[in-house]
C-alpha cells in the first residue's frame, strides 16, 4: 500500500484554518472511510476531520493546539490504490505512483499528494494547487487566496505599498492602525510611525484573541464598509407576555419577534434584498438568524423558512440551536447565511443600542430591555401600566430609507399584538 497525505479540509465557505483540539486515532490504527480523525476548532464551531478512505494511519503530523491552514498536511494514511482513487487522493492518470515520499527523501513535509491529489474529485479532502496555503507563513496572516477563503479588507485610507507589505508580514490590516496618528503629509501613517507603534506594542501587556473574536472583528470590519443606519420604535409586549403565559411551552420574546419579522419580510422581500451593482437581489427564502452568546463571541444559527412555519413548530428547533450554539457544535445546515438577524440585548438591561448587520445581510433587529410605563387609557380615563420595549432596526441605507425602515418596524409591532396568529 502507498502512503497518501491527509490535509486540513476547508470546513466552511469562509473558514481558512482550524486548530487541532484532540487527536482521535494513533499511528498504526486501522481506520474506515469517514472515521473521525481529529476534533478541530474553527472560528465558528467545534468540528471533526474524518479519514478520506479506509486504510492504516501511518503518521500523525499535526500537533494539538496548533492552527493549520486549509491544505496543510495533518496526517499520513496507507491505503490501496483503489481506495485512494475513490477518495480523490489519486488521479486516474497517476495510478501506480506513490503519492507520499518516504521520510528522508527530501520531501517538503506537505507531500506532493496534498498539492496534486485533489483533481476536483473530492474537495473535502483535496484541494487544487492554487488553493494550498503555505503553512510556513504566520498563522495570523490571511493571504489573498481563491476558493471562498477570506481576504483582508482594506480601508480607503492611503497606505504606501511598502507599509502594506510590512503589515502583511505581521498579519495586520488598516483597521488595526485606526488609533495611530501619522506624521506624514496630510496625516499619512509612515513606515517609521508604524515601526514605533510596533515597538510600543512590544512593551505592552498582550493576550491572544480567540479565533471567534478574530472572526467577529473581521465580520464587523466588512459590515462597516456600507452606509448603515438605525431607527427605533417602542413596541408593547403585553399581548405577547399574556400569550406566553397561556401556553404550555414558553416561547421566548425573540422567537415571537423572529416570526413577526419573517411575516413582514415575506410581504415585501425587497427590503431584505442586497444591492449588487444596479440590481436589488431578492432573497429566495426567509431564513432568519438569531444571535447566541458563546465563549468570547457570538454565534448566529439560522432557522429556515420562518415565514412558512408557525410559532409552535419553530420553538423546538430554536431551543435546540440555542443549546448547540452555546456548545459551539452547530450543525452545518444551521450555519449558512440568513437574510436578517434577531439580537436580544434586553437580558443585559440595555435599553438603547445600534446593532450592526452581518456583511452578507441588510437587516438586524435588536430587542431592548422591557420596561413598565404608564399609558393613558381613554376608556377608564386613567393611566395604566404597560410593558414596552424599544425595537431597533439597523439596515443598509442604500436599500432602505428611514420611512421604509419605520414602516417595517410598525408592521412587526402590529403583528406582535396578535401573537396567537403567529
pLDDT class of 120 with cuts at 50, 70, 90: very low
Q: Would the CATH topology of 2-131 be identical to that of 161-213?
A: no
Spatial separation of the C-alpha atoms in residues 260 and 282, rounded to whole Å: 19
CB atoms within 10 A of CB 167: 21
* Mean pLDDT along residues 6-35: 86
Strands 288-290 and 340-344: parallel
Position 157 scores a pLDDT of 52
* Mean pLDDT along residues 118-128: 43
282 three-state secondary structure = coil
Contact in structure between 244 and 251 (CB atoms under 8 Å): yes
* Mean pLDDT along residues 117-145: 42
Pick the CATH number of 2-131 from 3.40.50.920, 2.60.40.650, 3.40.50.880, 2.40.50.100: 2.40.50.100
* Mean pLDDT along residues 8-28: 84
Contact in structure between 125 and 7 (CB atoms under 8 Å): yes
Superfamily of domain 226-421: Chloramphenicol acetyltransferase-like domain (3.30.559.10)
Spatial separation of the C-alpha atoms in residues 1 and 340, rounded to whole Å: 51
Q: Which three cell numbers stand for residue 89?
A: 487522493
Residues in contact with 292: Cβ distance below 8 Å, sequence separation at least 6, in sequence order:
298, 299, 300, 301, 321, 322, 325, 326
CA distances from residue 259 to 163, 346, 360 in whole angstroms, order as listed:
49, 18, 21
Which element (helix H / strand E) includes 97?
none
Instruction: Quote the Cα angle for 72-121-144, to 5°.
Output: 45
* Mean pLDDT along residues 381-401: 92
pLDDT class of 313 with cuts at 50, 70, 90: very high
Domain locations in the chain as residue ranges: 2-131, 161-213, 226-421
> Over the stretch 33-91, which tens digit does the pLDDT of each residue have?
889 999 998 876 788 899 989 999 999 999 998 888 888 899 999 999 888 888 878 76
> Over the stretch 201-218, which tens digit does the pLDDT of each residue have?
877 787 777 777 777 777
Spatial separation of the C-alpha atoms in residues 345 and 320, rounded to whole Å: 20
Decide if pLDDT at 111 tops 60. no
Class of the domain covering 161-213: few secondary structures
Beta bridge pairs of residue 233? 391
Give the residue ranges of DSSP H helices in 88-210: 112-116, 161-170, 191-202
* Percent share of the chain, pLDDT over 90: 35
Query: 0.75 exceeded by the pTM?
Result: no
Amino acid at each position: 500500500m502507498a502512503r497518501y497525505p491527509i490535509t486540513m479540509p476547508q470546513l466552511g465557505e469562509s473558514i481558512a484554518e482550524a486548530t487541532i483540539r484532540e487527536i482521535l486515532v494513533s499511528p498504526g490504527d486501522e481506520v474506515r472511510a469517514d472515521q473521525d480523525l481529529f476534533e478541530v476548532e474553527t472560528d465558528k464551531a467545534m468540528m471533526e476531520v474524518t479519514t478520506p478512505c479506509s486504510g492504516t494511519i501511518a503518521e500523525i503530523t499535526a500537533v494539538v493546539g496548533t492552527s493549520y491552514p486549509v491544505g496543510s498536511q495533518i496526517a499520513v494514511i496507507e491505503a490501496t490504490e483503489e481506495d485512494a482513487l475513490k477518495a480523490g487522493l489519486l488521479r486516474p492518470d497517476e495510478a501506480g505512483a506513490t503519492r507520499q515520499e518516504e521520510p528522508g527523501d527530501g520531501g517538503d513535509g506537505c507531500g506532493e499528494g496534498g498539492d496534486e491529489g485533489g483533481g476536483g474529485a473530492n474537495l473535502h479532502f483535496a484541494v487544487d494547487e492554487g488553493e494550498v496555503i503555505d503553512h510556513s507563513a504566520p498563522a495570523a496572516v490571511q493571504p489573498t487566496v481563491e476558493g471562498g477563503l477570506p481576504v483582508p479588507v482594506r480601508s480607503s485610507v492611503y497606505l504606501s505599498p511598502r507599509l502594506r507589505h510590512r503589515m502583511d508580514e505581521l498579519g495586520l490590516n488598516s483597521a488595526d492602525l485606526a488609533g495611530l496618528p501619522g506624521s506624514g503629509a496630510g496625516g499619512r501613517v509612515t513606515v517609521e510611525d508604524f515601526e514605533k507603534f510596533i515597538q510600543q506594542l512590544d512593551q505592552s501587556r498582550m493576550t491572544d484573541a480567540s479565533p471567534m473574536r478574530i472572526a467577529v472583528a473581521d465580520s464587523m470590519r466588512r459590515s462597516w464598509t456600507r452606509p448603515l443606519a438605525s431607527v427605533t420604535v417602542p413596541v408593547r409586549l403585553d399581548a405577547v407576555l399574556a400569550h406566553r403565559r397561556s401556553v404550555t411551552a414558553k416561547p421566548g420574546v425573540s422567537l415571537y419577534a423572529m416570526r413577526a419579522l419573517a411575516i413582514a419580510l415575506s410581504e415585501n422581500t425587497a427590503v431584505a434584498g442586497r444591492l449588487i451593482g444596479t440590481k436589488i437581489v431578492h432573497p429566495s427564502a426567509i431564513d432568519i438568524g438569531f444571535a447566541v452568546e458563546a465563549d468570547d463571541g457570538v454565534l448566529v444559527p439560522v432557522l429556515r423558512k420562518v415565514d412558512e412555519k408557525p410559532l409552535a413548530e419553530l420553538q423546538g428547533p430554536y431551543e435546540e440551536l440555542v443549546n448547540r450554539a452555546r456548545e459551539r457544535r452547530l450543525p452545518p445546515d444551521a450555519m449558512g447565511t440568513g437574510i436578517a438577524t434577531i439580537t436580544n440585548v434586553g437580558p443585559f438591561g440595555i435599553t438603547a443600542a445600534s446593532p450592526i448587520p452581518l456583511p452578507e445581510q441588510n437587516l438586524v433587529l435588536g430587542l431592548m430591555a422591557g420596561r413598565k410605563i404608564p399609558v393613558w387609557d381613554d376608556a377608564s380615563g386613567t393611566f395604566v401600566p404597560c410593558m414596552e420595549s424599544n425595537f431597533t432596526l439597523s439596515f443598509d441605507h442604500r436599500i432602505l430609507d428611514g420611512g421604509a425602515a419605520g414602516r417595517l418596524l410598525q408592521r412587526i409591532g402590529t403583528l406582535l399584538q396578535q401573537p396567537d396568529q403567529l
